[in-house]
């Protein structure tokens, strides 16, 4: 963790929690943790809970995000939601290109690029997800895959549009499996991502962009992960669903 980049702990609830459950969670977590002065907490609930908890995230350091968006501003896209609609509901962030979206719903580097651009255009900070599958890692192709995903996501964007953009490294083989990249493995990839961002956008963006780790992050490993110099936070799934475990993640120590 670099002290010049404010740590970000992001909760991706996926398809969990009714509106009532979501409201109860955000009220409880804020009551137990209080304002966050030196770190930021992001809650990304299902679409159905966005409006309901938007006004409940009242403490300093808490932000609201969505899990997905469409790249068009409006149109005949049944079931889709635009970035502008998310901004209207109080979102500051939107997760783009999560591995589950890529694997289960056919998202590609091109759709991730379109969504990233749409989010920035609507005033949202995209959390752009990249990561390799187990077979890609075992073949030694992790850097090639991640490099391609980064270049695809940010193609055509200038450095002036990268302000606030977040990158999340999520090794697919560590999501929901209980397996976690070691801090050293994660740091190696984060350093590569930062280097690749430098080659695309220059040193200023390299130094400022926050890179999160996602993949079975839990209270028992968060401190070691956050101690690495290029890990600026965590994108958390299962451990973000219970107040107790998420509180422990927010209150990590380095």
Query: Could you list the pLDDT tens digit for every one of the 254 residues in the chain?
Result: 888 899 999 999 999 999 999 999 999 999 999 999 999 999 999 999 999 999 999 999 999 999 999 999 999 999 999 999 999 999 999 999 999 999 999 999 999 999 999 999 999 999 999 999 988 998 999 999 999 999 999 999 999 999 999 999 999 887 777 777 899 999 999 999 999 999 999 999 999 999 999 988 999 999 999 999 999 999 999 999 999 999 999 999 97
Q: How many domains does the chain have?
A: 1
Distance CA 194, CA 205 (A): 9
Q: For residue 78, is it within any domain? A: yes
Q: For residue 188, is it within any domain? A: yes
Assigned token pair, 229: 């110099």
The answer to whether the CB of 159 falls within 8 A of the CB of 204 is yes
Write down the pLDDT at residue 193: 98
Neighbours of 137 (CB within 10 A): 20
Q: For residue 2, is it within any domain? A: no
Q: For residue 3, is it within any domain? A: no
Write down the pLDDT at residue 204: 93
Q: For residue 90, is it within any domain? A: yes
Distance CA 5, CA 254 (A): 14
Q: For residue 126, is it within any domain? A: yes
Catalytic site positions: 98, 170
Q: Which of 118, 105, 99, 23 is nearest to 64 (CA)?
A: 23
Write down the pLDDT at residue 102: 94
Q: What is the dihedral of CA 14, 175, 24, 44, to 10 degrees?
A: -50
Write down the pLDDT at residue 23: 98
- Where residue 77 sits, what CATH number does that domain have? 3.20.20.70
Q: For residue 101, is it within any domain? A: yes
Q: Which of 177, 191, 174, 193 is nearest to 228 (CA)?
A: 191
Distance CA 163, CA 136 (A): 31
pTM metric for this prediction: 0.95
Angle at 137 between CA 136 and CA 142, to 5 degrees: 80
Assigned token pair, 238: 């299962």
Q: For residue 117, is it within any domain? A: yes
Q: For residue 108, what are the domain limits?
A: 8-250
Write down the pLDDT at residue 93: 98
> Tokens 């976690």, residue?
180
């Amino acid at each position: 963790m670099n002290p010049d980049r404010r740590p970000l702990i992001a909760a991706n609830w996926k398809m969990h929690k009714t509106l009532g459950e979501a409201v109860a969670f955000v009220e409880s977590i804020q009551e137990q943790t209080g304002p966050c002065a030196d770190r930021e907490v992001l809650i990304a609930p299902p679409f159905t809970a966005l409006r309901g908890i938007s006004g409940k995230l009242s403490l300093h350091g808490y932000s609201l995000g969505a899990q997905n968006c469409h790249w068009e501003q409006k149109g005949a896209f049944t079931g889709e939601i635009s970035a502008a609609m998310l901004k209207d509901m109080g979102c500051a962030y939107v997760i783009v290109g999560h591995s589950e979206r890529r694997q289960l719903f056919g998202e590609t580097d091109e759709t991730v690029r379109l969504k990233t651009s749409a989010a920035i255009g609507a005033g949202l900070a995209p959390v752009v997800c990249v990561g390799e599958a187990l077979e890609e890692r075992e073949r030694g192709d992790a850097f090639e895959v991640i490099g391609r995903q980064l270049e695809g996501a940010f193609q055509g964007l200038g450095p002036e549009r990268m302000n606030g953009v977040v990158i999340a490294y999520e090794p697919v083989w560590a999501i929901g499996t209980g397996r976690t990249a070691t801090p050293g493995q994660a740091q190696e990839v984060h350093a590569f991502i930062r280097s690749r961002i430098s080659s695309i956008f220059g040193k200023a963006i390299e130094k400022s962009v926050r890179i999160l780790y996602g993949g079975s992050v839990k209270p028992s490993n968060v401190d070691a992960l956050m101690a690495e110099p290029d890990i600026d936070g965590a994108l958390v799934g299962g451990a973000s669903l219970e107040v107790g475990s998420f509180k422990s993640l927010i209150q990590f120590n380095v």
